[in-house]
Structure 1
Amino acid sequence: MNENLFASFATPTLMGLPIVIPIIMFPTLFFKTTNKLINNRVTTAQQWLIKLITKQMMFTHSPKGRTWSLMLTSLIIFIGSTNLLGLLPHTFTPTTQLSMNLGMAIPMWAGAVILGFRYKTKASLAHFLPQGTPITLIPMLVIIETISLFIQPMALAVRLTANITAGHLLIHLIGGATLVLTTISLSTASITFLILMMLTILELAVAMIQAYVFTLLVSLYLQDNT
C-alpha cells in the first residue's frame, strides 16, 4: 500500500487521543533555567542568544512597545525550536498546522491593533485613508485598507505554514526517491542523497528564518501601533 504523502502532517494520536499539547510543550525541556550564581556554557549561550534577539527586535520600539519584549522573545524561541525539532525523524511539526499558526498570529495582531486604536487613535484611523485621496475614491480605499488590515494575521499564518510544509514535502519526496534509486543505480542514488543533505541544511536555515520573519512582522505591526 502506498504511503500517503501528507501522512506526516496528520495530528499524531496515542490510544485515540491527540498528543499535540505534549509535543508543543516538549521544546521547553531544552531551555535550562538555573538559580546558580555561576552558569554553565549552555545557560550562558542561551542568555546571550536571548539578549541578542531582544536587542535586535526592540531597539526601534517606543517604551510602550518594549513591554512586549518578553512575549516576542518567547515567540521566536518557541517557533524556532519547534521547527528545528520537527526536522528529526519520526517527529511532528506543529507549525505545519494552519490552525496553530492562526492561533499565534491572530492574538498577536489583535493585541497590536487594539493597542494602536487605544493610544494612537488618530494615527490608526489615518491608515485607512491616505492624505490627498480624491473624494470619489474614499469609500473604495477605506474598504481596501480595511481588508488589507484583516488579511495581515492570515498572511502571517499562511506564510509560516506554506514554507515549513513545502520544505518537509521536498525532503519526503527526495528521501523516497533516494531509497528507490538505491536498488536501481547507486551513482544516481548518491547524487540524490547529496541533494537531500543540502536540502536538509537549507531547511535548518529556513526553520530559523521563518521564526524570525514571523516575529519580525509581529514586531513591525506593534511598532506601527505604539
Structure 2
Amino acid sequence: MMISFFDQFMSPALLGLPLVILAMLPPLMLLSPTKQWLNNRLTTLQSWALLNITKQLFIPINISGQKWALILITLMTFLLTMNLLGLLPYTFTPTAQLSLNMALAVPTWLATVLLGLRTQPTMSLGHLLPEGTPTLLIPPLIIIETISLFIRPLALGVRLTANLTAGHLLIQLISTAALVLMAMTPTLAALTAIVLLLLTLLEVAVAMIQAYVFILLLTLYLQENT
C-alpha cells in the first residue's frame, strides 16, 4: 500500500539493489536493430520518424555539428521510451528522477561548451557580451550571461523532472478521487474517470514533447558552439 503520493517516485529495490537499471533495459530491447532482410511495419515507422526528426533538428546546424546526430537522436529515443513506459501501471519512471536527468543534461551540455571553446573560442566567449554594450554594463552583463550559461543544464534536468512529476501526481490524485467517488456518486465518478482518460492522453503527448524539447535545446546549444 502506498503511504504517500510521492512514493511512486522512489526507486524500487530488490535485495538492496536498485531496479532502475532493469527499468532502463526495455528501451534498448524495443529499439534493437532487426536482422531480417525485409523490415516490418514497426521498424519502417521507426526509421521514418527518426529520419524526419533528425532532418528537422539538424538542418540549421553546420556539417561539424551534424556529427552529433547519432548521439542526440539516440538520447531522444531513450528519453521518449522511458517517459512512455513510465505511464504504464505498476512501473517506475527513471526520468522522473532529477539525478538521472542531470546525469544526462550536464555531460551533453558541457560537451557542447567545450567543443565551442576548442573550435571557436572567440565566438563562444563572445556570447557572454552582446555587441555594442555600454562600458558601464559590461561587468554585470558578463556575470549575468555566465550565470545563465551554467543554469542551462539545471533547466534541462528540472524541466523534464517537473513535467513528468506533475503529470504523475495529477493522474494519481484524480484516480484516487475516482475510486473514492465510485461508492458515493457513480455519476461523478464516471465524469472523473473521463477526465482521467483525457489527462492520460495529455501525459502521453507531454512524454513525447518533453523528450523532443530536451534534444531541441541541446541542438540549439550545439548550434551556438559550432
Query: SS of the residue aligned with 2:39?
Result: coil
Question: Are 1:223 and 2:223 an aligned pair?
Answer: yes
Contact 1:24 1:82 in 2 (8 A): yes
Show the 5 A alignment for 1:14-163: 14-163=14-163
Deviation at 1:2, TM superposition (A): 6.9
Contact 1:32 1:43 in 2 (8 A): no
What is the CA–CA distance in structure 2 between the aligned matches of 1:125 and 1:215, rounded to whole Å?
23
5+ unaligned residues in a row in structure 1: which ranges? none
What is the CA–CA distance in structure 2 between the aligned matches of 1:18 and 1:2, rounded to whole Å?
18
Tell me the TM-score normalized by structure 1. Answer: 0.97
5+ unaligned residues in a row in structure 2: which ranges? none
What is the CA–CA distance in structure 1 between the aligned matches of 2:94 and 2:126, rounded to whole Å?
37
Structure 2 letter corresponding to 1:30? L
Query: SS of the residue aligned with 2:38?
Result: coil
Q: Give the equivalent residue in structure 2 for 1:214.
A: 214
Show the 5 A alignment for 1:187-206: 187-206=187-206
Question: Are 1:176 and 2:166 an aligned pair?
Answer: no
What is the CA–CA distance in structure 2 between the aligned matches of 1:225 and 1:167, rounded to whole Å?
34
Deviation at 1:88, TM superposition (A): 0.3
Q: Give the percent of matched residue pairs that are identical in Structure 1 and Structure 2.
A: 53
Deviation at 1:16, TM superposition (A): 2.1
What is the CA–CA distance in structure 2 between the aligned matches of 1:87 and 1:109, rounded to whole Å?
28
What is the CA–CA distance in structure 1 between the aligned matches of 2:45 and 2:203, rounded to whole Å?
23
Q: Which runs of 4+ in 1 moved over 6 A?
A: none
What is the CA–CA distance in structure 1 between the aligned matches of 2:160 and 2:181, rounded to whole Å?
32
Tell me the TM-score normalized by structure 2. Answer: 0.97
Query: SS of the residue aligned with 2:183?
Result: coil
Q: Deviations over 1:132-157 (max 9, x none)?
A: 21212211111111000000000010
Contact 1:156 1:214 in 2 (8 A): yes
Deviation at 1:30, TM superposition (A): 1.3
Structure 1 letter corresponding to 2:196? L
